[in-house]
Amino acid sequence: MNHYHLKKQLIALEKIEENIDYDTLDTLIEDMLVTINTGGKIIATALGKNVPICEKFIGTLNSLGINGHFLHTNSAIHGDLGVVKDNDLVIMLTKSGETSESIYLYEQLKKRKIKLWLLTYNGNSTLGKKIANKLVLFLEHEGDKWNLVPNNSSIGYLLVLQAVAMEITDRLDIKLEVFKQNHPGGYIGKVLETKRRV
Taking the C-alpha atoms of residue 41 and residue 65, their distance in angstroms, rounded to an integer, is: 11
Q: For the segment 75-88, what is each residue's pLDDT rounded down to a tens digit?
A: 999 999 999 999 99
- 30: phi then psi, degrees, rounded to nearest 5: -65, -40
Q: What is the pLDDT of residue 1?
A: 61
CATH fourth-level superfamily of 4-195: Glucose-6-phosphate isomerase like protein; domain 1 (3.40.50.10490)
pLDDT higher than 80, residue 20: yes
Residue 167 and residue 11: Cα distance in Å, rounded?
A: 23
- If DSSP codes are grouped into helix, strand and coil, which group holds residue 148? coil
Answer yes or no: is pLDDT of 191 > 90: no
Q: b/e string for 139-152 if b means 16 or more Cβ within 10 A? A: beebbeeeeeeebb
pLDDT in tens, 138-158: 998 888 889 898 889 999 999
Residue 44: CB partners within 8 Å, gap ≥ 6?
54, 57, 58, 68, 69, 70, 71, 90, 91, 93, 161
- 184 or 105: which carries more pLDDT confidence? 105
Predicted local distance difference test score (pLDDT) of residue 4: 78
Distance CA 140, CA 145 (A): 13
Q: Is residue 96 packed enough to be buried (19+ CB in 10 Å), middle (13-18) or exposed (0-12)?
A: middle
pLDDT given at position 122: 97
Start-end of H helices in 38-185 = 51-63, 73-76, 100-109, 126-130, 152-171, 176-182
pLDDT at 196: 58
pLDDT, tens digit, 9 for 90 and up, residues 85-112: 999 999 999 999 999 999 999 999 999 9
Better-predicted residue by pLDDT, 130 or 189: 130
Q: What is the mean pLDDT of the chain?
A: 92
Closest CA to 24 of 174, 139, 164: 164
Distance CA 126, CA 103 (A): 8
Assess contact for 160 and 154: CB atoms under 8 A: no
**What's the mean pLDDT in 159-164?**
96
